[in-house]
């Protein structure tokens, strides 16, 4: 339960910190830390408008998308404290519960009957197809490294004490960080601030959403960033630490993650559309290297 509360609380600050970093590096006046929250509250007060050509699928999609992220949060542990939901292979359930939310977003966009939104949905589905192997190979490697197939046991039994394991941990954090960027359709795959039709992905999918539904989508995006920040923090939190130190380190890592996201979006340009598949597959290639390194560490492969 503590892990859930920490993720929910850190998600409130995440977009504000990122916006401040981007404004600072761009030489603009920095917005209020809670400006994204104020914007969402304003959206909550607006009336939701539905196109007459949409069905119940379009109305259900934002709610299921938001609910899928909440369920995913319940799977994340904090140190030795298990998530609210914990079982062998729960990282597979984690990936597919997020995929369920994404699937609802895709068919919700297609339900509008708009070819423009269908284009964004097609790209979203394609990029999700490419990034999922990176996550599964990474988590499978970690399960092989520790000998445990669940999030809580995996993290609590992870011992990074050799040069190879340090390199593996750094590479795993890199893969998780950029997986979060792809999952949230952010740079370098997509730019949420763009209005160029040929390059829009996520924003074009939600053009027909408004009011309460649009607010749920924004909040779900914040939560997904906080979820991946929690996965990264578990690599760096030692279970031998007191719970208070673990909480402080958790918030510190979330803060650093938000700052890094802001810096990446300030200094890195969006990829060309035809380069995105190659770049996303690069994450899978790194995960395969992590898997092979894990085989060496666990002596499943012996180098002479």
- Which pLDDT value is given to residue 296? 84
What is the C-alpha separation between 93 and 89, in angstroms, rounded? 7
In this structure, the chain runs to a length of 304
Asked if 214 contacts 206 with a C-beta cutoff of 8 angstroms, the reply is yes
- Which pLDDT value is given to residue 193? 73
What is the C-alpha separation between 155 and 157, in angstroms, rounded? 5
CB-based burial, 13-44: b 16+ in 10 Å, e otherwise? bbbbbbbbbbeeeeeeeeeeeeebbeebeebe
Count other Cβ atoms within 10 Å, centred on residue 302: 7
283 token code pair: 């994450």
| Cis, peptide link before residue 5, omega less than 30° from 0 | no
What is the C-alpha separation between 81 and 247, in angstroms, rounded? 12
Q: H-type helices in 157-210, by residue range?
A: 163-183, 202-205
pLDDT by position in tens, the chain (length 304): 788 999 999 999 999 999 999 999 988 888 889 999 999 999 998 988 898 899 999 999 999 999 999 999 999 998 778 889 999 989 999 999 999 999 999 999 999 988 888 888 988 899 999 999 999 999 999 988 888 889 988 888 776 666 667 888 889 999 999 999 998 888 888 877 766 666 677 778 888 899 999 999 999 999 999 999 999 999 888 878 888 999 999 999 999 999 999 998 888 888 888 888 999 999 999 999 999 988 888 877 665 5
Tell me, rounded to whole angstroms, the distance of Cα 22 from its chain centroid.
19
- pTM recorded for the entire structure: 0.92
- Which pLDDT value is given to residue 196? 63
Q: Which of 178, 199, 177 is nearest to 190 (CA)?
A: 199
């Amino acid at each position: 339960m503590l892990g859930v509360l920490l993720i929910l609380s850190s998600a409130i600050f995440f977009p504000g910190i990122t916006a401040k970093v981007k404004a600072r590096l761009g030489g603009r006046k920095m917005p209020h830390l809670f400006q994204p929250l104020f914007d969402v509250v304003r959206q909550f007060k607006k009336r939701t408008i539905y196109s007459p050509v949409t069905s119940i699928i379009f109305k259900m999609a934002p709610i299921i998308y938001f609910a899928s992220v909440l369920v995913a949060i319940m799977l994340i542990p904090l140190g030795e404290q298990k998530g609210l939901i914990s079982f062998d292979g729960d990282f597979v359930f984690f990936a597919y519960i997020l995929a369920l939310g994404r699937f609802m977003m895709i068919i919700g966009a297609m339900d509008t009957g708009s070819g423009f939104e269908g284009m964004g949905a097609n790209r979203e589905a394609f990029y999700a197809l490419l990034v999922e192997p990176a996550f599964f190979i990474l988590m499978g490697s970690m399960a092989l490294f520790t000998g445990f197939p669940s999030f809580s046991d995996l993290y609590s039994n992870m011992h990074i004490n050799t040069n190879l394991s340090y390199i593996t941990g750094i590479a795993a954090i890199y893969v998780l960080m950029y997986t979060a960027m792809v999952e949230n359709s952010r740079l370098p795959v997509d730019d949420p601030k763009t209005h160029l039709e040929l390059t829009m992905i996520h924003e074009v999918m939600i053009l027909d959403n408004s009011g309460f539904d649009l607010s749920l989508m924004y909040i779900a995006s914040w939560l997904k960033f906080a979820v991946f920040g929690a996965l990264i923090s578990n690599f760096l939190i030692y279970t031998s630490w007191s719970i208070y130190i673990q909480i402080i380190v958790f918030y510190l890592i979330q803060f650093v993650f938000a700052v890094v996201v802001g810096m990446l979006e300030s200094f890195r340009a969006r990829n060309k559309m035809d380069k995105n598949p190659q770049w996303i597959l690069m994450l899978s290639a790194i995960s395969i290297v992590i898997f092979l390194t894990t085989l060496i560490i666990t002596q499943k492969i012996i180098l002479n």
